C-alpha cells in the first residue's frame, strides 16, 4: 500500500455520454438515467431527507448522473454550470449541491448498501455552494461510493433527486506526477506513489517558478534548463506506458524535448525513448534500439502545431508492442492521426542515461551536457505504467480544468469537450 493517493474524481451534474474510467479507476457502476427531473408541488426534501412539501414550482433540477474522474488526489464535485444553463435552468436552480461519500475495502459491499438503502445520507451530507468543491484525500486501493443532488437554494432544502450510488476504485498506475506547484527552491516534489525527487538544473530560480494551468509551473529557458530524475523510468520496448503534460512553447521550429531517457553519449546507438516536438512542429515520439541500423520506432503527428504561446495538453501512450500502431498521440484530448517514418523496433531500449524533462544529453556528450532544450512552460507532468484511453485523456483534461476554475474562482463554462454535446 502506497502512502500517497493518486486519483481525482470529478462528479459532473448534467453530463451526457457513456461510463468512462480514470487514470486510476478500474470500475465504475450504478449510473442513474441521464434525465432532468422537475421539482414542484410535493418536491424533494432537504439534503438529508427523501422527500417533502413545498418544492420550487417550475424549476428543473438535473439528477446528478456523471462520474468524471481524473488523476489527482481529490474528489471534485462540480455543478457544470454551463451545462445546466444549456438545459434552460436559471442560476437560482443550482445554488448548492449536497453529497455524501463512504470509502471501504475493495471487496466490501456494505458501504455501498449503506448509501443505496438510505433515503438520504447515513450521516450529515456535505453542502456546497460553490461550483467546484473538493474532498480529499482519496487513498489508493480503496473503493469510494458517493451520491449527490442539486439544490435550488444555498441551504440545500429544495433539491432534485439523489443520484444512484456511484463507485470508483483507486489503483496505483501513476509512476510520476509533478504538479510543479512548489513555487520555490531547486527541487520539484513528486505527488506520485514513489515520492521521487526532481532536481532543477540550470534554472534561474528567480524566474523559473511561474503560474501554470493550475497554480504553479516551470519556465524553461531553452538553453540549459532541465529536470533530472536520475536512474528512474528505464522503460523497455515491451513496457506499456503513458506520458502526459501541459505544454506552452515560447518558440517553434526547433527539435525540443518534453521528456525522455535516451543515451546520446553513444550517438551511434542513441538507445532509449524520447518525447518532444520536431522542428516541423509535430509532436514526436521515438523508441530506439540502434539508430545506426534504423532499429527504432519513430512516430509523429500528421498535424503541425505552428503557433507559440498556446497551452496544450499532450498525452502519448504506448502499448508495449514495438509497433507504430501501438502509439497514440492526443493533443487537447483529440486523437491525432500519425505517420511513422520508421516502424522497425526490436530489442531493448534500456540504457544508462538519466530520466530528464526539458532536455536530453548532448549527442556524444556526457550526462552533464544538454541538447534539444525546451523553451516555454511545462506543467502537471505524469508518467503511467499503462495505456490511458481517450476517455481518460478527456477525464484528466476536464478534472484539471475544473480544479483550475475552483482555484481561481473563474465562473466561466468548462471546455465544450467537458460539457457534452
Per the model's pLDDT, the better-predicted residue between 172 and 335 turns out to be: 335
pLDDT tens per residue across span 365-421 = 888 889 999 999 999 999 988 898 887 787 777 767 766 766 677 777 777 777 654
Residue 366, CA distances (Å) to 274, 286, 289 in order: 17, 21, 19
pLDDT at 89 over 50: no
Q: For cell 501501438, name the residue.
A: 326
Mean confidence (pLDDT) of the chain? 73
Low-confidence winner among 151-165, 184-198, 321-335 (lowest mean pLDDT):
151-165
Per the model's pLDDT, the better-predicted residue between 50 and 236 turns out to be: 236
pLDDT tens per residue across span 162-204 = 777 766 666 667 888 898 989 999 999 987 778 899 999 999 9
- Our CA angle for 394, 76, 56, nearest 5°, is 110
Q: Which domains does the chain have, with CATH numbers?
A: 9-173 (no CATH), 174-385 (2.60.120.200)
Task: Tell me the C-alpha distance between 327 and 274, whole Å.
Answer: 13
pTM of the predicted model, to two decimals?
Answer: 0.73
pLDDT tens per residue across span 271-282 = 999 999 999 999
What is the model's pLDDT at position 112? 75
Task: Tell me the C-alpha distance between 112 and 28, whole Å.
Answer: 12
pLDDT at 354 over 80: yes
pLDDT tens per residue across span 2-37 = 222 233 333 333 322 222 222 222 222 222 222 222
Percentage of the chain modeled with pLDDT above 90: 41
pLDDT at 49 over 80: no
Amino acid at each position: 500500500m502506497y502512502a500517497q493517493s493518486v486519483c481525482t474524481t470529478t462528479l459532473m451534474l448534467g453530463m451526457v455520454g457513456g461510463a468512462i474510467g480514470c487514470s486510476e479507476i478500474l470500475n465504475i457502476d450504478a449510473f442513474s438515467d441521464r434525465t432532468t427531473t422537475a421539482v414542484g408541488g410535493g418536491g424533494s426534501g432537504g439534503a438529508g431527507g427523501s422527500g417533502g412539501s413545498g418544492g420550487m414550482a417550475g424549476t428543473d433540477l438535473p439528477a446528478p448522473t456523471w462520474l468524471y474522474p481524473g488523476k489527482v488526489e481529490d474528489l471534485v464535485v462540480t455543478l457544470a454550470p454551463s451545462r445546466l444553463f444549456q438545459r434552460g435552468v436559471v442560476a437560482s436552480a443550482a445554488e448548492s449541491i449536497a453529497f455524501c461519500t463512504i470509502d471501504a475495502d475493495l471487496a466490501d459491499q456494505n458501504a455501498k448498501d449503506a448509501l443505496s438503502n438510505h433515503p438520504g445520507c447515513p450521516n450529515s451530507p456535505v453542502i456546497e455552494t460553490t461550483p467546484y468543491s473538493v474532498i480529499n484525500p482519496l487513498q489508493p486501493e480503496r473503493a469510494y461510493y458517493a451520491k449527490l443532488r442539486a439544490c435550488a437554494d444555498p441551504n440545500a432544502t429544495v433539491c432534485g433527486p439523489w443520484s444512484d450510488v456511484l463507485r470508483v476504485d483507486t489503483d496505483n498506475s501513476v509512476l510520476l506526477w509533478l504538479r510543479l506547484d512548489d513555487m520555490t527552491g531547486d527541487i520539484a516534489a513528486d505527488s506520485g506513489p514513489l515520492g521521487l525527487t526532481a532536481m532543477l538544473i540550470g534554472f534561474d530560480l528567480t524566474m523559473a517558478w511561474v503560474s501554470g494551468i493550475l497554480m504553479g509551473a516551470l519556465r524553461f529557458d531553452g538553453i540549459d534548463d532541465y529536470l533530472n530524475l536520475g536512474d528512474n523510468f528505464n522503460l523497455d520496448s515491451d513496457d506499456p506506458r503513458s506520458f502526459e503534460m501541459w505544454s506552452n512553447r515560447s518558440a517553434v521550429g526547433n527539435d525540443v524535448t518534453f521528456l525522455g531517457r535516451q543515451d546520446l553519449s553513444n550517438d551511434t546507438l542513441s538507445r532509449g525513448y524520447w518525447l518532444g516536438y520536431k522542428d516541423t512542429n509535430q509532436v514526436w515520439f521515438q523508441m530506439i534500439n540502434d539508430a545506426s541500423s534504423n532499429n527504432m520506432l519513430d512516430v509523429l503527428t500528421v498535424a503541425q502545431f505552428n503557433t507559440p504561446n498556446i497551452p496544450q495538453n499532450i498525452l502519448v501512450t504506448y502499448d508495449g508492442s514495438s509497433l507504430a500502431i501501438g502509439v497514440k498521440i492526443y493533443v487537447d484530448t483529440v486523437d491525432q492521426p500519425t505517420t511513422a517514418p520508421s516502424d522497425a523496433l526490436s530489442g531493448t531500449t534500456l540504457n544508462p542515461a538519466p530520466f530528464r524533462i526539458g532536455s536530453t544529453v548532448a549527442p556524444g556528450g556526457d550526462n552533464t551536457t544538454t541538447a534539444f532544450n525546451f523553451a516555454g512552460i511545462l506543467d502537471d507532468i505524469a508518467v503511467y505504467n499503462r495505456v490511458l484511453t481517450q476517455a481518460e485523456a478527456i477525464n484528466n483534461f476536464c478534472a484539471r480544468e475544473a480544479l483550475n476554475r475552483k482555484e481561481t474562482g473563474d465562473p466561466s463554462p468548462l471546455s465544450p469537450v467537458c460539457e457534452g454535446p
